Structure formats: C-alpha cells, structure tokens
C-alpha cells in the first residue's frame, strides 16, 4: 500500500468518526441517546437501515460469490420488499403507538413478561455473538492479505466504533452511517468503472455480460422447484420474505434504526427507500463480481486466491503436485483465453456453427479449470486439514490490491472498514438498548434518574463493545465460528418472527400458549437442523425461518385451544 | 385519535401509502421480469 492509500484510508475513517462525535455530543437522557429524540428524517433512516444490513463481509464475500457461482444470490432478496411493506404497514404503527424503545417491549404489552424476556434474550445471544464476527471477519481477510497484525486491526476497528457509539448513541450511529454509505457507494462505483476500463480493447460491458452468460454466470432467476437448491425464485420470495420480515421487524439492530425517525411517515419512507434500492444494489455488487471473473479470463488469476495457504501448500509435502497443478492452471488459462477469443470472433461474424463450437470449447476449458482448482483444494487439505479452502472472500480484494491505482486501494479499504464499523455500531447500540430497557430498567432500577439511565446506557454500549472485541480476538480459536454464528441466526429468526406474527395478527392466542409454542418450535427447528447436518435430508437454511414461524403459530393455536378447553371443563 | 391521525398521514409522494406499496411491488415485478429476460437473453 502506498502512502497515498494510507492517507485516503485514515483521513476517511478519522473524518467520519470525528464528525459523528462532534455533531451528536450532549444527549441528556435515554430518549435522546437510544432514540435520537425522534428527530431523524427518512433519508437518514433509509441509509442507516441499508448500512446496518451491509456489513464488511457483504463487500468482500458477495463479489467473490458471484465470481464463483454467478448472480443467483440476488434472488435471496426478492422477499425483502414484501417484508418491508408488511413492517411499514403493520409493525411501525404499533411500535409508535406504544412508544417503545425496543421491539421486545411490545411482547410484554401483548403477552407477558416471560415472552418479552425470551425475545430479548434470544436477540442478545444471537446479536452479541454476531457483533464479534462483524469485526473479526473483515479483520482476518485484511490481515491475511495485507500482512496487518490481526489483533491491531480488530482493536482499531472496535475502538473507533466504541468511541462514537458511546459518545453520541443512536444519532451518532445514523449520522456516521450516512457518510459511510456514501463512501461505500462511491468506492464500489469507482471499482466497477475501473474493472471495465481494464477489459480487453474493444470489449464493452454488453459483450462482457453476454460472454458471462455463455459461461453460466448470469443465471439471475431460477424458477425451478428444487428445495435443495440454495437460491431459487421460490426460496427467495418465501424464505427470503420470512428472513427479511424477522430481521427488519424483530431484530433490534434494525428496529432501533427506524423507530428513531421523527414520524411514522419518515420511518415508513426510510423502509420504502430500502425496498426500492436494496435489490439493485445487491445486483450491482454481484455484477461487479462477475466483471472481476470476466477480467480474470483475460488476465491470469492465481489458481487459489488465498496466497498464504498457497505458499503453505507449495512448501509442504505435496509441493510437487501443487506445482504441477499450478502449471496445468497456467496452460488452461492460455487455452481458455484462446477459446474465448474464438467465441468473440464467432459472435462478431454471427456464424451459429462457429459460435456453438466455440461455446463447447469454452465449456470444456471451464470444466478443466474447475477440476484443477478442486485438485489444488484437495492438496491443500491434505497438507493441513485446518486450511479453509473457500477462497471467495479473497477474490475481490486480490483484484483491488493488484490492479487498482494508488489512492483507490485506500478508498476500497475504507469501504470495507466503513461497512464493518456501520453494522457494528448498530449492533452495539441495539444490544445496549435491549439490555438497558428490557432488563436493567425493567427488572433492577425502574425509577432511577434520567442521568443515571444515560450513564448506564453508555457503560452498557462500551461493555458490549469490549465484549465484541474480546469475542473477535478469540474467534480464531474456533474453526467454524462464522458458520456457527450464521446458523444460530437462522435457527432463531423464524421462532422470534412467529411470536411477533401471533402478537400482531392472532388475537386468540395468549401469552402462556405462545411462550410454550415458541420453545417447542425452537426445539423442532434445532432438531431439523441436526437432521440436515447429518444428511438425513437436505434443506436450505432459508426454510428454517418459514418452518420456525409456522410451527409457533400452529402450536400456539393447539396450546391455546387445550388451555381454553381445560378452563371450560 | 393521535395514532389514527399518524396512520392517515400522507406520504410525500403518490398521495397514499397503498399507492406507494403498489409502486414498490410493481418495481419488484419489473426487476424480476428484467432479470429473467437477462437470464434467457445471455444464456
């Protein structure tokens, strides 16, 4: 990294943090600190909601995912606009009417204290774990690729977030997220333009998209009814709907973003902003990944993108096989490039026979390429079974570091760190709100002074921040920690959503019935997950959300019916 | 009463919330059609 990159990176981050601290100083009570005195406009709410969802790993993993398997991931977001409409139409008016600080306050109002504790506790466990991973995931990628010290990277990101989140509370989170989203979008647009500029002479965006389609990377929509496929139209529109409904309607890190708006209108408009722009944004990030894939059809990529692992393999007991695979990869690259040039010429001459021949050749070269990569991954595992063979998180950053000019590398790193900070700050703020309002104020000190609550809220924010940093520092010890946290999230979301759906729409079911229904549903979802883990059958994790939610409703009806019958008899 | 007033509050565009929701759904439908067309066009 050049000194210009360091200047761009450090000045961007320092400006956002300092501005956030300066503009939001002086909260006097928890209404100002946890809800921003309900002063936020829809533009701020919309960007804040978007920035909370877009973590650093979004910008590292998503282009890599498109590089590996194409555009189909965008279907995961098809249910999101529907979910946001339901949240805007049903959830928001209720949260505003009850003047809640957290979503879980509603549960006590509708059911009882047990259900509120259950909801709040599930959130604290799930989000408390996730906050550490939000910092750790980009830090491990950046430290591996740039040689930065992992502990130092985690501490810098964590401490910067703690400074402005503790100081300014929810307003600081929203205000900084506005600028962080600005940096993120600017950086991604510039990266996309630079990728296109680096394509071969005379080959524009249209030709590249078309070629990518020929190579199977532009399968955006898949209407097949295959439940084992992770991303289809159907899993996106149903599973994605339930996941988004649970995330935006019941996860405090999102709820706190829009209940701080100055009115229901501002809150709803912020969500509608996301309903319109989220899918195009994800499409754009995925398309950036596909363009990186196309770029690497004309410029030789590494056979495996995680260089540290590659070096380990080349100095291990299978070094000879690794070198042979590397040579095969080099040879395959030349042949694949020739086949692609042949395809481009056939397309230009509009000769269908030549086009079909060239496409067959490209398919053949791609299959060979895939086989070589699989062989390399197998050799790496044989060398050391602790090596993570998923290298898609390293694809985009490898391109950025090797091909972007000085200054832009710093900007793209600022994008990744801004995204890490924006989602972490929302998480810390939400964790502090829930522990303050649903536990401390509700159970321990219900009548303390505003100043006392403000001080404790700041201490809780700092405490959760320190816990997140500690968890991030310990994360390297657990092999599959990130995967575990993702699974924990999807295991609980359906049940939490089921509780809220019953609360909002099914007046018949009461507190005790929904509480036991939620516990039983959760036990069954976990059982289902283990059946999937042990391959008794295959089910995409998106369906857990639908099943968990449906089970809470069904069991809720049964338990309520049994309880009513018992009372009547 | 206050809540009723808040619920009836008009959005800054399209004069009613149901119209805004219809616009969002229409946009989603348009995106899906566009993406499907793209999938078929470049396959």
pLDDT at A408 over 60: yes
Q: Note whether B7 contacts A214, CB cutoff 8 Å.
A: no
**Could you tell me if A56 and A134 are in contact, meaning their C-beta atoms sit under 8 angstroms apart?**
yes
Q: Is B24 exposed, middle or buried (0-12, 13-18, 19+ CB in 10 A)?
A: buried
Backbone angles phi, psi at A542, to 5 degrees: -60, -30
pLDDT digits (tens, 9 = 90+) for A355-404: 899 999 999 999 999 999 999 999 999 998 878 788 888 899 899 999 99
Separation of alpha carbons A33 and A168, rounded Å: 7
Please count the other Cβ atoms lying within 10 Å of the Cβ belonging to residue A330. 12
Residue A215: half-sphere exposure toward Cβ, Cα within 13 Å: 31
- What is the spatial distance between Cα A293 and Cα A521, in angstroms, rounded to a whole number? 42
Spacing of C-alpha A140 from chain mean position = 16
Which residue in A89, A212, A269 is closest to B12 by CB distance?
Answer: A269
Chain B residue numbers with beta carbons less than 8 Å from the beta carbon of A275 are 24, 28
Out of A204-213, A272-281, B32-41, least confident range: A204-213
CB contact under 8 A, B39 and A279: no
Strand intervals (E) in A75-192: none
The pLDDT tens digits for A286-336 are 999 999 999 999 999 999 998 888 999 999 899 999 999 999 999 999 999
The whole-number pLDDT of residue A333 equals 95
Q: Which residue of B has its CA nearest to A275?
A: B24
Digitized pLDDT (tens) for each residue of chain B, 43 residues in all: 444 455 557 888 888 999 999 999 999 999 999 999 999 998 7
> What is the distance in angstroms between the Cα of A526 and the nearest Cα belonging to chain B?
33
The angle at the Cα of A43, spanning A38 to A44, to the nearest 5 degrees, equals 50
Q: CB distance from A97 to chain B under 8 Å? A: yes
A220 contacts B11? CB cut-off 8 A: no
Q: Is the pLDDT of residue A481 over 70?
A: no
Nearest to A85 among B11, B24, B39 (CB): B24
Partners of residue A276 in chain B, C-beta under 8 Å: 24, 27
A278 touches chain B (CB under 8 A): no
Q: How far away is chain A from the Cα of B15, in angstroms, using its nearest Cα?
A: 12
Length of chain B in residues, anyone? 43
* Cβ neighbours around A111 below 10 Å, total: 23
* Of the partner residues A93, A221, A268, the one whose CB lies closest to the CB of residue B35: A221
Name the phi and psi angles at B15, rounded to 5.
Answer: 60, -20
Chain B: residue whose CA lies nearest to A98: B3
Q: Which of B9, B25, B41 is nearest residue A264 as measured by Cβ atoms?
A: B9
pLDDT at A477: 63
Residues in B whose CB is inside 8 Å of some CB of A read 3, 6-7, 9-12, 17, 20-21, 24-25, 27-28, 31-32, 35-36, 38-39, 41-43
Cβ of A220 within 8 Å of Cβ of B36? The answer is yes
* H-run or E-run covering A470: helix A450-474
The pLDDT tens digits of the residues spanning A330-367 come to 999 999 999 999 988 888 888 889 989 999 999 999 99
Give the pLDDT score at B1.
41
Of the candidate ranges A167-176, A221-230, A476-485, the one whose mean pLDDT is the lowest: A476-485
Pairwise CA distance, residues A543 & A557, whole Å: 21
Looking at the partner chain, which of B3, B32, B41 has a beta carbon nearest the beta carbon of A93?
B3
| CB within 8 Å: B43 and A93 | no
Q: What is the rounded distance in angstroms from the CA atom of residue A120 to the CA atom of residue A500?
A: 12
Q: A112-119 contacts: CB < 8 A, separation 24 or more?
A: A112/A511, A112/A512, A112/A515, A113/A442, A114/A511, A114/A512, A114/A515, A115/A499, A115/A511, A115/A514, A115/A515, A115/A518, A116/A438, A116/A442, A117/A438, A118/A499, A118/A515, A118/A518, A118/A519, A119/A250, A119/A496, A119/A499
Q: HSE on the CB side for A267, CA within 13 Å?
A: 29
Residues of A in contact with B27 (CB under 8 A): 81, 276
A382 backbone dihedrals φ, ψ, rounded to 5°: -65, -35
Report DSSP state, residue A481.
H
What is the percent of chain A with per-residue pLDDT over 90, rounded to a whole number? 57
Residue A40 DSSP one-character state: B
pTM of the model: 0.89
- The burial of A375, by beta-carbon neighbours within 10 Å (0-12 exposed, 13-18 middle, 19 or more buried), is given as middle
- Environment class of residue A139 by beta-carbon count within 10 Å: exposed (0-12), middle (13-18) or buried (19+)? buried
């Amino acid at each position: 990294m050049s000194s210009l990159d360091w200047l761009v990176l450090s000045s961007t981050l320092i400006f956002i943090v300092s501005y956030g601290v300066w503009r939001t100083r002086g909260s006097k009570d928890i209404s100002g600190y946890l809800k921003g005195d309900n002063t936020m406009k829809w533009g701020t709410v919309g960007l804040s909601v978007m920035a909370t969802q877009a973590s650093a790993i979004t910008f590292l993993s998503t282009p890599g995912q498109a590089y590996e398997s194409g555009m189909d991931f965008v279907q995961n977001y098809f249910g999101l606009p529907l979910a946001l409409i339901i949240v805007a139409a049903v959830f928001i008016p209720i949260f505003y009417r009850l003047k809640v600080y957290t979503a879980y306050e509603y549960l006590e109002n509708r059911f009882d204290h047990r259900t509120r504790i259950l909801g709040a506790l599930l959130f604290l466990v799930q989000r408390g774990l996730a906050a550490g991973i939000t910092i750790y995931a980009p830090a491990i990628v950046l430290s591996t690729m740039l040689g930065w010290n992992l502990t130092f990277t985690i501490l810098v990101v964590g401490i910067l977030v703690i400074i402005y989140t503790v100081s300014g509370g929810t307003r600081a989170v929203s205000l900084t997220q506005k600028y962080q989203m600005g940096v993120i979008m600017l950086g991604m647009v510039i990266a996309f333009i630079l990728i296109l500029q680096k394509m071969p002479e005379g080959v524009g965006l249209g030709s590249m998209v078309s070629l990518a389609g020929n190579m199977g990377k532009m399968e955006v929509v898949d209407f097949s009814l295959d439940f084992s496929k992770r991303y289809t139209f159907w899993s996106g529109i149903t599973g994605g709907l339930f996941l988004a409904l649970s995330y935006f309607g019941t996860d405090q890190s999102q709820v706190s973003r829009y209940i701080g708006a100055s009115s229901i209108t501002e809150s709803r408009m912020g969500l509608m902003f996301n309903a319109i722009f989220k899918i195009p944004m994800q499409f754009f990030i995925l398309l950036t990944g596909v363009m990186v894939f196309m770029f690497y059809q004309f410029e030789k990529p590494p056979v495996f993108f995680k260089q540290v692992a590659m070096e380990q393999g080349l100095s291990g007991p299978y070094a000879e096989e690794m070198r042979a695979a590397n040579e095969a990869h080099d040879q395959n690259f030349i042949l694949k490039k020739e086949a692609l040039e042949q395809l481009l010429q056939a397309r230009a001459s509009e000769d269908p026979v030549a086009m079909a021949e060239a496409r067959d050749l490209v398919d053949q070269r791609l299959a060979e390429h895939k086989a070589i990569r699989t062989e390399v991954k197998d050799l790496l595992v044989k060398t050391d079974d602790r090596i993570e063979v998923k290298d898609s998180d390293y694809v985009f950053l490898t391109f950025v570091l090797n091909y972007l000019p000085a200054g832009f590398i710093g900007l793209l790193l600022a994008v990744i760190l801004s995204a890490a900070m924006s989602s972490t700050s929302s998480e810390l703020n939400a964790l502090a709100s829930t522990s303050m309002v649903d536990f401390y104020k509700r159970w321990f000190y219900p009548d303390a002074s505003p100043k006392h609550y403000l001080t404790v809220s700041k201490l809780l924010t700092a405490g959760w921040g320190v816990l997140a940093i500690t968890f991030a520092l310990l994360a390297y010890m657990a092999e599959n920690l990130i995967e575990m946290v993702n699974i924990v999230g999807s295991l609980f979301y359906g049940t939490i959503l089921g509780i809220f759906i019953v609360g909002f729409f099914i007046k018949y079911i009461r507190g005790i019935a929904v509480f036991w229904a939620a516990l039983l549903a959760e036990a069954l979802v976990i059982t289902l997950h283990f059946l999937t883990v042990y391959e008794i059958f295959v089910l995409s994790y998106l369906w857990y959300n639908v099943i968990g939610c449906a089970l809470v409703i069904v069991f809720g009806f049964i338990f309520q019916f049994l309880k009513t019958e018992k009372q009547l008899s | 009463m206050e809540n009723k007033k808040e619920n009836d509050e008009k959005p800054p565009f399209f004069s009613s919330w149901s119209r805004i929701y219809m616009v969002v759904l229409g946009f989603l439908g348009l995106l899906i059609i566009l993406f499907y067309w793209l999938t078929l066009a470049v396959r």
